[in-house]
Amino acid sequence: MVKKLQLIVVLVLCLSFGLFAQVVVVNEQFESGAGNWDGWIDTGSATVTASVDATGKLSGTNSYLLDITNGSADTYRIQRNTNCPLLAGQQYTVSFLAVADKPTASINVLFEIDADPWTKRLNETALVDTVAKLFTYVASISQNVANNELKLHFGGTGNNNTKIWVDSVVVTYIPDPTLVTKWGATSAGNHYPILNDSSTADGAAAMGSGAPPTAWSTISGQFNQLLEATTDEAVVVSGKFEYVGGGGGDTYTPLRYALTYVDSIELKYQYTDSAMWVATADSAKNKNKHSGYGFHPRTGSGVMSNGAGGSGTVWTINRGTWTSTWSNNGGPIAAVNQTPRNSKLVAGVYDWAISVKKISDTENEIRWYFVETTSKYSFAGSAIDTAANTKFNSVSFGVNTGDYTQVNLMQVKAELGDPITVPGPIWEAYFLDMWGLTGAGKAWPILNDTSTYVGDGYIGGENPIPGWATIRGGFGQDVSIPSDKAIVVTGEMEFVGGGCGDTYTPLRYALTYVDSMELKYQLTDSAAWVSTADSAKNSDRHYGWGYHPRTGAGTMSNGNGGSGTVWTINRGTWNSTWGNNGLPIAAVKQAPRNAEIIEGVYEWAISVQ
């Protein structure tokens, strides 16, 4: 009866994947003994007897029995393994029957190579109890692995004094149905010829001419089936992208890609350099209308993608042109810059992925990443959008500017599953290059010009100063405090021509967050930070910490809440002790006692963890 169940499962798999024929690579019923199963047992810490049991416990007469007295501390200390080479572009199914004499047994099921570093391509745990069950696991394989083994690990203290039987261990594969195989250029641009031919691997595509592009070149892959995001499963599309011969430099959006739904479209001339998606819609107004999400990573110091609705790096597309920011009928929903700051899209391979999950009746969560494999560039994040688009059937890539000569796509697949995990930013220390006066005081002009070194900021003028003179260096990105590291800001400060004597707080400086600010007239004597907030009450509102060093016998900084040398700033004015909406948190005096701030150079640093 159990054998029939297994055969039915195999039949259903064949029907589900259409014309794909299964190839059987492992089929162990143990009717002729242990077959090719062997493996390492740590006899120093584990005690087990492995044998063929002829009591008809599972399927047929024989099954394989592990009689475990001591499972040791780790699952891998009792192994039963068999050779199982893997082929790229195939989807493997592992199934077996198992039962135990106790309700809390387990088996670790792996595809793992037979030597260090023991790379795993399947790693699942079967929870086995006293009722016989068929366990099935699926793994998509992206590269050939000649030294792979199917491994069943029976160790661990949870299996102490337990008998576990296994039988009907079967491994099959079919061409991976999640790989995208139908590729062609789109009406948004076909400057580059398509390089796919009949020998191109499933999930792969390429376009190029041996020279940099001079116009939009696009390629689109359509999925094997329509995928719909639900509250249970996300639509997940992933793969690798390669720039050949060069990168994007500081150009304006050299790459745009999109996950969309488009109907009434047909692939013509597949596997030729003229492969093209052609609209079959009944009218021009219905042709090539995409719905979904567009991703426009920024490169270098290039301008962020902009158009109808503003600027952004992730855009909605609502029955519009997927490459356009003007005719996509959508708008930006995220403005996430790349990391490290101003890093460039360079020649090389990038891992990328997109997931869209419906998180309520009205909202989608979109996650994405596009990360160079040696950590030179990362564009990653998440956003929430209305749940207008939940069905998807294509992923498209368009290139326009840069010095690359070819674009390759590899291992592109589309499936339903868990949302992707967004990697954290790639951090690289840098010098500040955005300097301007602030609204807190402009008594001295800024002295930076085009010859000023990056990292330097200068202000100067008459003495005594007729009022507050301020300068601000912008980070050019929001920097969040990580859980395992500190934000560290360092530099040098120089007083030229004199010092501060015994005056009252001649210097105040701060580390803050402030939004809705724009630097105007950079590298001129009028360079200044200007608020773009929607009202005066929201302008120049800072959050962070202010530092007010005492000089000589001067009075300590004081104001709302008392006196101190370090102050919190809570949506307030960064250089004020009355309008900072904060309080003093430290009253640390200078050393030596009553030392004065004098002419000269000072090293300074702030860290927040």
- The pLDDT of 507-524, averaged and rounded, is 95
Q: Which amino acid would we find at residue 458?
A: Y
Residue 146 DSSP label: T
Main-chain dihedrals φ then ψ at residue 197, nearest 5 degrees? -140, -170
Pick the range with the lowest mean pLDDT from 479-483, 582-586, 590-594.
479-483
Tens of pLDDT, residues 321-338: 999 999 999 999 999 999
Domain limits of the chain? Answer: 2-175, 182-417, 429-609
The CA-atom distances, in angstroms, between 485 and each of 37, 339, 479, 488, 607 are 48, 17, 12, 9, 10
Predicted local distance difference test score (pLDDT) of residue 242: 98
Predicted local distance difference test score (pLDDT) of residue 198: 94
Tens of pLDDT, residues 71-130: 999 999 999 999 999 999 999 999 999 999 999 999 999 999 999 999 999 999 999 999
Tens of pLDDT, residues 120-177: 999 999 999 999 999 999 999 988 999 999 999 999 999 999 999 999 999 999 999 9
User: For residue 2, is pLDDT > 50?
Assistant: no
Cis peptide leading into residue 464 (ω within 30°): yes
Percent of the chain scored above 70 by pLDDT? 97
User: For residue 16, is pLDDT > 50?
Assistant: no
Q: What confidence category does residue 1 fall into, taking pLDDT thresholds of 50, 70 and 90?
A: very low
Report the chain's mean pLDDT, rounded to a whole number: 93
Tens of pLDDT, residues 407-422: 999 999 999 999 999 9
Q: Would you tell me which CATH number, out of the four given (2.60.120, 3.30.1490, 3.40.1710, 2.60.40), belongs to the domain 182-417? A: 2.60.120
Whole-angstrom distance, CA of residue 401 vs CA of residue 530: 32
User: For residue 15, is pLDDT > 70?
Assistant: no
Q: In the chain, what are the helix, strand and coil shares in percent, each to the nearest 5?
A: 5, 45, 50
Q: What confidence category does residue 18 fall into, taking pLDDT thresholds of 50, 70 and 90?
A: very low
Predicted local distance difference test score (pLDDT) of residue 20: 57
Tens of pLDDT, residues 533-572: 888 888 889 999 999 999 999 999 999 989 999 999 999 9
Contacts of 577 (CB under 8 A, 6+ apart): 548, 557, 558, 559, 560, 567, 584
Main-chain dihedrals φ then ψ at residue 171, nearest 5 degrees? -125, 125
Whole-angstrom distance, CA of residue 140 vs CA of residue 60: 31
Tens of pLDDT, residues 215-264: 999 999 999 999 999 999 999 999 999 999 999 999 999 999 999 999 98
Q: What confidence category does residue 8 fall into, taking pLDDT thresholds of 50, 70 and 90?
A: very low
Tens of pLDDT, residues 572-587: 999 999 999 999 999 9
Predicted local distance difference test score (pLDDT) of residue 539: 87
182-417 matches 2-175 in CATH topology: yes
Tens of pLDDT, residues 276-320: 999 998 877 788 899 999 999 999 999 999 999 899 999 999 999
Contacts of 11 (CB under 8 A, 6+ apart): none
pTM, entire model? 0.81
- The pLDDT of 522-531, averaged and rounded, is 95
Find the Cα–Cα–Cα–Cα dihedral 322, 327, 328, 330, rounded to 10°: 160
Main-chain dihedrals φ then ψ at residue 344, nearest 5 degrees? -110, 150
Percent of the chain scored above 90 by pLDDT? 89
CATH code of the domain occupying 2-175? 2.60.120.260
**Are β-strands 276-279 and 332-334 bridged in parallel, bridged antiparallel, or unpaired?**
unpaired
The CA-atom distances, in angstroms, between 303 and each of 251, 291, 337, 370, 515 are 8, 25, 11, 18, 19
